[in-house]
Amino acid sequence: MPSKPDPNPKSRLDSLRMTNVWGSMLTDEEEQLAKIVVNDVGIRLALLPAGLYEMGADAEGDPLARPNEAPAHRVVFSATVYMGVSPVTQAEYQRVTGRNPSTFTGDQGGPDNPVEGVSWHDAVNFCTALGRRPAERQAGRTYRLPTEAEWEFACRAGSTTIYSSSNDLPLSQANFCGAYGPDGGPRSPARGRTSPVGAYPANLFGLHDMHGNVWEWCQDWYAEDYYETSPLQNPPGPPEGRFKVTRGGSWRSLAASCRASYRNAVTPNNRDAYTGFRVVMMVAG
């Protein structure tokens, strides 16, 4: 089961070495947890340890940083969760809901491509329906969308670079619009559609497609200046708003929009061919 919230997480987490090595990030309790869980419909989920990281970006650290990504600030997570290793696929979505709203099917895609054409409400309803399946209820597992802070923590996977592994994003690392690189220089042509999940290398948490493929819905409402007042521990996002946060960029995004700190805002009823989602799983303790 996930670790219970630490009553004094900052003192414990300040002592963690934020490296990319699992052993240096996990508590003794977390070491006893499965690193990967496969649920009733075949979704693979990876353990995300409690930890701390620097969220957001400032211009001095990232020349492409936008005002809504500032200030860079420390975030603390006091409990352990599991996150989908990849975005929810068309096959997984159909197993739970009985339908597939995606554009990229048949010769253009297939069941292993991420589901798209889903609104924020569709994604939330999927999480609810998934948690109500008998096998999931018996296991004490519930599902939700990641918070924006969880998403960026998962994307960075202990790194402090612009992308999860470096300050550049080559086309060999992600499915995005490769017409121009982060510096505006030319790149080779992009795919022009989604790709099967897991087709590109995972980050150091074992998560695929955190950059590109599909934008991913987050739980949070969006506020441009939220970082100026967001809490240190487990930030939940604003209490209300007009837009929901999406993260990660998509197959039609330039590299700059795929950066780990890049924030996007979309109306929650929007459906398009470049937005999907991944899930967070919690286990009853």
**What pLDDT sits at residue 129?**
98
**What pLDDT sits at residue 229?**
96
Q: What's the pLDDT tens digit per position in 207-244?
A: 999 999 999 999 999 999 999 999 999 999 999 999 99
Whole-number Cα distances in Å, 147 to 134, 202, 207, 255: 26, 20, 16, 22
Residue 203 is encoded by which pair of tokens? 């980050």
Q: Which helix or strand (DSSP H or E) is residue 113 part of?
A: none
- Checking if the pLDDT of 7 tops 50, the result is no
Residue with tokens 């975030």: 75
* DSSP character string of 153-203: HHHHTT--SSSSSSS---TTT-BS-TTB-TTS-B-----SS---TT-S---
Q: What's the pLDDT tens digit per position in 131-150?
A: 999 999 999 999 999 999 99
The C-alpha atoms of residue 18 and residue 32 are separated, in whole angstroms, by 20
**What pLDDT sits at residue 276?**
98
- Checking if the pLDDT of 29 tops 90, the result is no
Residue with tokens 């701390």: 52
**What pLDDT sits at residue 13?**
32
pTM: 0.88
**Is 278:87 a contact under the CB 8 Å cutoff?**
yes
Sheet holding 36-38, edge to edge: 36-38, 44-48, 81-84, 280-283, 141-144
Q: What's the pLDDT tens digit per position in 163-207?
A: 998 999 988 899 998 765 555 555 555 678 999 999 999 999 999
With a pLDDT cut of 90, the percent of the chain lying above it is 76
Please state the φ and ψ torsions of residue 281, each to the nearest 5 degrees.
-115, 135
**What pLDDT sits at residue 11?**
34
The C-alpha atoms of residue 14 and residue 118 are separated, in whole angstroms, by 39
The C-alpha atoms of residue 257 and residue 259 are separated, in whole angstroms, by 6
**What pLDDT sits at residue 145?**
98
